[in-house]
Structure 1
Protein backbone atom coordinates (compact mmCIF):
# COMPACT_ATOMS: atom_id res chain seq x y z
CA UNK A 1 0.00 0.00 0.00
CA UNK A 2 1.20 3.48 -0.73
CA UNK A 3 1.46 6.04 2.04
CA UNK A 4 -0.68 8.66 0.36
CA UNK A 5 -1.89 11.40 2.67
CA UNK A 6 -4.13 14.25 1.62
CA UNK A 7 -3.87 17.60 3.38
CA UNK A 8 -5.81 20.84 3.72
CA UNK A 9 -5.43 23.73 6.15
CA UNK A 10 -7.26 21.95 8.96
CA UNK A 11 -7.23 18.26 8.00
CA UNK A 12 -5.13 15.28 7.03
CA UNK A 13 -6.74 12.27 5.33
CA UNK A 14 -4.81 9.04 5.89
CA UNK A 15 -5.81 5.80 4.13
CA UNK A 16 -6.11 3.10 6.78
CA UNK A 17 -4.40 -0.24 6.28
CA UNK A 18 -6.35 -3.48 6.50
CA UNK A 19 -4.73 -4.10 9.89
CA UNK A 20 -5.68 -0.63 11.17
CA UNK A 21 -9.30 -1.19 10.14
CA UNK A 22 -9.19 -4.59 11.87
CA UNK A 23 -7.93 -2.97 15.09
CA UNK A 24 -10.80 -0.50 14.94
CA UNK A 25 -13.26 -3.32 14.28
CA UNK A 26 -11.85 -5.34 17.19
CA UNK A 27 -11.82 -2.35 19.59
CA UNK A 28 -8.03 -2.47 19.95
CA UNK A 29 -7.55 1.20 19.16
CA UNK A 30 -4.35 1.37 21.20
CA UNK A 31 -2.62 -0.48 18.33
CA UNK A 32 -3.22 2.50 16.04
CA UNK A 33 -0.69 5.32 16.31
CA UNK A 34 -3.30 8.05 15.89
CA UNK A 35 -5.91 8.48 18.63
CA UNK A 36 -9.51 8.26 17.41
CA UNK A 37 -12.48 10.00 19.01
CA UNK A 38 -14.78 7.34 20.49
CA UNK A 39 -17.78 9.29 19.17
CA UNK A 40 -16.45 8.81 15.63
CA UNK A 41 -17.23 5.09 16.00
CA UNK A 42 -20.89 5.42 16.97
CA UNK A 43 -23.94 4.39 14.99
CA UNK A 44 -23.45 2.64 11.69
CA UNK A 45 -19.72 3.35 11.48
CA UNK A 46 -18.55 0.11 13.13
CA UNK A 47 -20.90 -1.94 10.93
CA UNK A 48 -19.63 -0.13 7.84
CA UNK A 49 -16.02 -0.89 8.85
CA UNK A 50 -16.87 -4.57 9.29
CA UNK A 51 -18.45 -4.68 5.80
CA UNK A 52 -15.49 -2.85 4.31
CA UNK A 53 -13.08 -5.42 5.79
CA UNK A 54 -15.05 -8.22 4.09
CA UNK A 55 -14.77 -6.45 0.72
CA UNK A 56 -11.09 -5.66 1.18
CA UNK A 57 -10.12 -9.32 1.75
CA UNK A 58 -10.47 -10.00 -1.99
CA UNK A 59 -9.52 -6.55 -3.31
CA UNK A 60 -6.42 -5.91 -5.37
CA UNK A 61 -3.80 -4.39 -3.08
CA UNK A 62 -2.99 -1.83 -5.79
CA UNK A 63 -6.54 -0.51 -5.43
CA UNK A 64 -6.43 -0.38 -1.61
CA UNK A 65 -7.06 3.36 -1.40
CA UNK A 66 -10.33 2.94 -3.33
CA UNK A 67 -11.58 0.28 -0.88
CA UNK A 68 -10.39 1.49 2.52
CA UNK A 69 -11.63 4.21 4.79
CA UNK A 70 -9.47 7.28 5.06
CA UNK A 71 -9.15 8.53 8.63
CA UNK A 72 -10.08 12.21 8.91
CA UNK A 73 -7.50 13.74 11.24
CA UNK A 74 -7.85 17.24 12.62
CA UNK A 75 -4.49 18.99 12.63
CA UNK A 76 -4.91 21.09 15.78
CA UNK A 77 -4.73 17.99 18.03
CA UNK A 78 -3.87 15.26 15.48
CA UNK A 79 -6.87 13.15 16.43
CA UNK A 80 -9.05 10.98 14.20
CA UNK A 81 -12.51 12.53 14.06
CA UNK A 82 -14.18 10.59 11.25
CA UNK A 83 -13.97 8.38 8.20
CA UNK A 84 -14.45 8.86 4.48
CA UNK A 85 -13.96 6.54 1.54
CA UNK A 86 -15.18 4.95 -1.63
CA UNK A 87 -16.96 1.64 -1.99
CA UNK A 88 -14.42 0.18 -4.40
CA UNK A 89 -12.80 1.13 -7.68
CA UNK A 90 -14.73 3.05 -10.33
CA UNK A 91 -17.17 0.83 -12.22
CA UNK A 92 -17.18 0.39 -15.99
CA UNK A 93 -19.23 3.59 -16.37
CA UNK A 94 -16.57 5.45 -14.35
CA UNK A 95 -18.77 5.93 -11.29
CA UNK A 96 -17.80 5.31 -7.69
CA UNK A 97 -19.84 5.72 -4.51
CA UNK A 98 -18.63 7.68 -1.48
CA UNK A 99 -19.52 7.28 2.18
CA UNK A 100 -18.47 9.20 5.26
CA UNK A 101 -19.08 9.85 8.94
CA UNK A 102 -17.89 12.45 11.43
CA UNK A 103 -17.78 12.60 15.22
CA UNK A 104 -20.78 14.66 16.40
CA UNK A 105 -18.63 17.21 18.22
CA UNK A 106 -16.95 18.22 14.94
CA UNK A 107 -20.06 18.65 12.79
CA UNK A 108 -21.32 21.97 11.41
CA UNK A 109 -17.80 23.38 11.11
CA UNK A 110 -17.24 22.70 7.40
CA UNK A 111 -14.83 19.84 8.15
CA UNK A 112 -16.67 17.14 6.18
CA UNK A 113 -17.00 19.49 3.20
CA UNK A 114 -13.23 20.00 3.45
CA UNK A 115 -12.57 16.24 3.71
CA UNK A 116 -14.88 15.38 0.81
CA UNK A 117 -13.27 18.10 -1.32
CA UNK A 118 -9.84 16.54 -0.68
CA UNK A 119 -11.08 13.09 -1.68
CA UNK A 120 -12.84 14.43 -4.79
CA UNK A 121 -9.63 16.15 -5.87
CA UNK A 122 -7.67 12.91 -5.34
CA UNK A 123 -10.20 10.80 -7.30
CA UNK A 124 -10.40 13.29 -10.16
CA UNK A 125 -6.75 12.60 -11.00
CA UNK A 126 -7.62 9.07 -12.12
CA UNK A 127 -8.70 8.86 -15.78
CA UNK A 128 -11.14 6.01 -15.05
CA UNK A 129 -13.08 8.00 -12.42
CA UNK A 130 -15.79 9.89 -14.25
CA UNK A 131 -18.10 10.68 -11.35
CA UNK A 132 -18.94 10.16 -7.70
CA UNK A 133 -22.30 9.20 -6.25
CA UNK A 134 -23.80 9.41 -2.78
CA UNK A 135 -26.88 7.21 -2.47
CA UNK A 136 -29.56 6.69 0.15
CA UNK A 137 -28.80 9.93 1.94
CA UNK A 138 -31.61 10.43 4.42
CA UNK A 139 -33.61 13.55 3.62
CA UNK A 140 -33.65 14.26 7.36
CA UNK A 141 -29.83 14.28 7.46
CA UNK A 142 -29.56 17.97 6.65
CA UNK A 143 -25.83 18.06 7.41
CA UNK A 144 -24.94 15.37 4.89
CA UNK A 145 -27.22 16.86 2.23
CA UNK A 146 -25.56 20.25 2.79
CA UNK A 147 -22.05 18.75 2.51
CA UNK A 148 -22.90 17.21 -0.86
CA UNK A 149 -24.45 20.42 -2.18
CA UNK A 150 -21.42 22.41 -0.94
CA UNK A 151 -19.20 20.01 -2.90
CA UNK A 152 -21.24 20.62 -6.09
CA UNK A 153 -23.09 17.30 -6.14
CA UNK A 154 -26.38 17.38 -8.04
CA UNK A 155 -29.56 15.83 -6.67
CA UNK A 156 -30.17 13.00 -9.13
CA UNK A 157 -33.28 11.49 -7.55
CA UNK A 158 -35.37 11.57 -4.43
CA UNK A 159 -37.20 8.40 -3.43
CA UNK A 160 -39.24 8.01 -0.25
CA UNK A 161 -36.99 9.19 2.60
CA UNK A 162 -33.75 9.20 0.55
CA UNK A 163 -31.86 11.53 -1.77
CA UNK A 164 -29.36 10.30 -4.36
CA UNK A 165 -26.60 12.59 -5.57
CA UNK A 166 -24.04 12.61 -8.35
CA UNK A 167 -20.95 14.65 -9.09
CA UNK A 168 -19.73 14.40 -12.67
CA UNK A 169 -15.97 14.83 -12.92
CA UNK A 170 -15.40 14.52 -16.66
Structure 2
Protein backbone atom coordinates (compact mmCIF):
# COMPACT_ATOMS: atom_id res chain seq x y z
CA UNK A 1 0.00 0.00 0.00
CA UNK A 2 1.11 3.55 -0.64
CA UNK A 3 2.23 6.36 1.63
CA UNK A 4 -0.33 7.85 3.98
CA UNK A 5 -2.25 4.62 4.46
CA UNK A 6 -2.81 3.47 8.03
CA UNK A 7 -2.55 -0.24 8.77
CA UNK A 8 -3.99 -2.48 11.45
CA UNK A 9 -3.88 -6.22 11.91
CA UNK A 10 -6.84 -6.77 9.57
CA UNK A 11 -7.35 -3.47 7.77
CA UNK A 12 -5.92 -0.66 5.70
CA UNK A 13 -7.30 2.87 6.09
CA UNK A 14 -6.69 4.83 2.89
CA UNK A 15 -7.37 8.59 2.83
CA UNK A 16 -9.42 9.35 -0.26
CA UNK A 17 -8.35 12.16 -2.55
CA UNK A 18 -10.73 14.83 -3.80
CA UNK A 19 -10.83 13.02 -7.15
CA UNK A 20 -11.64 9.67 -5.50
CA UNK A 21 -14.49 11.22 -3.53
CA UNK A 22 -15.82 12.61 -6.81
CA UNK A 23 -15.74 9.11 -8.32
CA UNK A 24 -17.86 7.78 -5.45
CA UNK A 25 -20.31 10.68 -5.60
CA UNK A 26 -20.71 10.02 -9.33
CA UNK A 27 -21.12 6.23 -8.87
CA UNK A 28 -17.78 5.44 -10.52
CA UNK A 29 -16.63 3.00 -7.84
CA UNK A 30 -14.99 0.82 -10.49
CA UNK A 31 -12.12 3.38 -10.62
CA UNK A 32 -10.58 2.01 -7.40
CA UNK A 33 -7.90 -0.64 -6.85
CA UNK A 34 -10.02 -2.15 -4.09
CA UNK A 35 -13.53 -3.35 -4.78
CA UNK A 36 -15.95 -1.18 -2.83
CA UNK A 37 -18.93 -3.02 -1.41
CA UNK A 38 -21.91 -1.14 -2.80
CA UNK A 39 -23.84 -2.10 0.35
CA UNK A 40 -21.52 0.26 2.26
CA UNK A 41 -22.41 3.36 0.26
CA UNK A 42 -25.55 4.54 2.01
CA UNK A 43 -27.44 7.74 1.16
CA UNK A 44 -25.98 9.29 4.33
CA UNK A 45 -22.47 8.51 3.04
CA UNK A 46 -23.24 10.10 -0.34
CA UNK A 47 -24.59 13.19 1.42
CA UNK A 48 -21.51 13.42 3.64
CA UNK A 49 -19.22 13.04 0.61
CA UNK A 50 -20.88 16.02 -1.07
CA UNK A 51 -20.30 18.09 2.09
CA UNK A 52 -16.69 16.92 2.25
CA UNK A 53 -16.09 17.85 -1.40
CA UNK A 54 -17.51 21.32 -0.83
CA UNK A 55 -15.19 21.91 2.15
CA UNK A 56 -12.12 20.30 0.56
CA UNK A 57 -12.17 22.48 -2.56
CA UNK A 58 -11.62 25.54 -0.35
CA UNK A 59 -8.80 24.32 1.88
CA UNK A 60 -5.11 23.59 1.53
CA UNK A 61 -4.50 20.05 0.29
CA UNK A 62 -2.21 19.31 3.25
CA UNK A 63 -5.32 19.46 5.48
CA UNK A 64 -7.48 17.18 3.31
CA UNK A 65 -6.99 14.19 5.62
CA UNK A 66 -8.98 16.02 8.30
CA UNK A 67 -11.91 16.44 5.89
CA UNK A 68 -11.93 13.36 3.69
CA UNK A 69 -13.23 9.88 4.22
CA UNK A 70 -10.72 7.14 4.79
CA UNK A 71 -11.64 3.99 2.90
CA UNK A 72 -11.64 0.93 5.20
CA UNK A 73 -10.15 -2.00 3.29
CA UNK A 74 -10.24 -5.58 4.55
CA UNK A 75 -6.74 -7.02 4.12
CA UNK A 76 -8.11 -10.56 3.84
CA UNK A 77 -10.12 -10.07 0.65
CA UNK A 78 -8.94 -6.58 -0.42
CA UNK A 79 -12.55 -5.28 -0.42
CA UNK A 80 -13.41 -1.80 0.76
CA UNK A 81 -15.99 -2.33 3.49
CA UNK A 82 -16.66 1.14 4.87
CA UNK A 83 -15.72 4.75 5.46
CA UNK A 84 -14.45 6.74 8.44
CA UNK A 85 -13.34 10.34 8.71
CA UNK A 86 -13.29 13.60 10.57
CA UNK A 87 -15.49 16.56 9.71
CA UNK A 88 -12.60 18.98 9.67
CA UNK A 89 -9.57 20.30 11.50
CA UNK A 90 -9.75 20.50 15.29
CA UNK A 91 -11.76 23.56 16.40
CA UNK A 92 -10.43 26.38 18.62
CA UNK A 93 -10.86 24.09 21.65
CA UNK A 94 -8.91 21.27 19.99
CA UNK A 95 -11.79 18.94 19.11
CA UNK A 96 -12.83 17.37 15.84
CA UNK A 97 -15.89 15.27 15.05
CA UNK A 98 -15.77 11.78 13.58
CA UNK A 99 -18.26 9.98 11.37
CA UNK A 100 -18.24 6.43 10.05
CA UNK A 101 -20.19 3.82 8.14
CA UNK A 102 -19.66 0.17 7.34
CA UNK A 103 -21.27 -2.32 4.98
CA UNK A 104 -24.08 -4.32 6.57
CA UNK A 105 -22.16 -7.47 5.60
CA UNK A 106 -19.25 -6.49 7.86
CA UNK A 107 -20.96 -5.37 11.04
CA UNK A 108 -20.40 -6.95 14.46
CA UNK A 109 -16.92 -8.16 13.52
CA UNK A 110 -14.88 -5.45 15.25
CA UNK A 111 -13.83 -3.74 12.02
CA UNK A 112 -15.24 -0.32 12.96
CA UNK A 113 -13.75 -0.42 16.46
CA UNK A 114 -10.39 -1.27 14.90
CA UNK A 115 -10.77 1.55 12.37
CA UNK A 116 -11.82 4.17 14.93
CA UNK A 117 -8.99 3.29 17.31
CA UNK A 118 -6.54 3.64 14.43
CA UNK A 119 -7.89 7.00 13.26
CA UNK A 120 -7.87 8.32 16.84
CA UNK A 121 -4.24 7.23 17.16
CA UNK A 122 -3.48 9.19 13.98
CA UNK A 123 -5.29 12.30 15.33
CA UNK A 124 -3.36 12.11 18.63
CA UNK A 125 -0.18 12.89 16.70
CA UNK A 126 -1.49 16.39 16.00
CA UNK A 127 -0.61 18.90 18.72
CA UNK A 128 -3.77 20.85 17.81
CA UNK A 129 -6.09 17.90 18.53
CA UNK A 130 -7.13 17.40 22.15
CA UNK A 131 -9.97 14.96 21.53
CA UNK A 132 -12.67 13.59 19.27
CA UNK A 133 -16.44 14.07 19.37
CA UNK A 134 -19.02 11.64 18.00
CA UNK A 135 -22.77 12.11 17.63
CA UNK A 136 -25.08 9.11 17.24
CA UNK A 137 -28.79 8.51 17.03
CA UNK A 138 -30.03 7.21 20.37
CA UNK A 139 -31.30 3.97 18.79
CA UNK A 140 -27.96 3.11 17.12
CA UNK A 141 -26.81 0.53 19.68
CA UNK A 142 -24.00 -0.81 17.45
CA UNK A 143 -22.42 2.61 17.01
CA UNK A 144 -22.62 3.31 20.73
CA UNK A 145 -20.88 -0.03 21.35
CA UNK A 146 -18.05 1.03 19.00
CA UNK A 147 -17.68 4.32 20.89
CA UNK A 148 -17.64 2.49 24.21
CA UNK A 149 -14.95 0.11 22.88
CA UNK A 150 -12.87 3.16 21.95
CA UNK A 151 -13.19 4.80 25.41
CA UNK A 152 -15.63 7.55 24.42
CA UNK A 153 -17.82 8.83 27.22
CA UNK A 154 -21.37 10.08 27.04
CA UNK A 155 -21.68 13.88 27.28
CA UNK A 156 -25.22 14.94 26.45
CA UNK A 157 -28.40 14.34 24.46
CA UNK A 158 -30.41 16.73 22.29
CA UNK A 159 -33.64 15.17 21.05
CA UNK A 160 -32.59 11.75 19.72
CA UNK A 161 -28.89 12.58 19.15
CA UNK A 162 -26.37 11.60 21.80
CA UNK A 163 -22.95 13.25 22.01
CA UNK A 164 -19.84 11.35 23.06
CA UNK A 165 -16.24 12.44 23.50
CA UNK A 166 -12.82 10.93 23.95
CA UNK A 167 -10.27 13.30 25.48
CA UNK A 168 -6.58 12.82 24.87
CA UNK A 169 -4.52 12.86 28.04
TM band (smaller chain): over 0.9
Q: How far 1:159 sits from its partner (Å)?
A: 2.4
- Aligned residue for 1:127? 127
- Aligned residue for 1:102? 102
**Structure 2: gaps spanning 5 or more residues:** none
C-alpha distance in structure 2 between counterparts of 1:11 and 1:5, whole Å: 10
- Aligned residue for 1:157? 156
C-alpha distance in structure 2 between counterparts of 1:28 and 1:65, whole Å: 21
Q: Trace 1:17-96 onto structure 2 (pairs within 5 A).
A: 17-96=17-96
Does 1:13 find its partner at 2:23? no
CA RMSD of aligned residues (A): 1.1
Deviation above 6 Å: which 4+ runs of structure 1? none
Q: How far 1:18 sits from its partner (Å)?
A: 0.5
- Aligned residue for 1:167? 166
Q: How far 1:13 sits from its partner (Å)?
A: 0.2
**Structure 1: gaps spanning 5 or more residues:** none
Q: Which stretch shifts more, 42-51 or 148-157?
A: 42-51
Q: Tell whether the 8 Å contact from 1:59 to 1:67 is kept in structure 2 after alignment.
A: no
Q: Tell whether the 8 Å contact from 1:13 to 1:115 is kept in structure 2 after alignment.
A: yes
SS in 2 for 1:64: helix
1:36-93: per-residue Cα shift (whole Å, max 9, x none)? 0000102311111111111111011111111110000001111110000001111111
Aligned residues: 168
SS in 1 for 2:113: helix
SS in 1 for 2:43: coil
Length-normalised TM-score, structure 2: 0.96
C-alpha distance in structure 2 between counterparts of 1:95 and 1:125, whole Å: 13
C-alpha distance in structure 2 between counterparts of 1:77 and 1:83, whole Å: 17
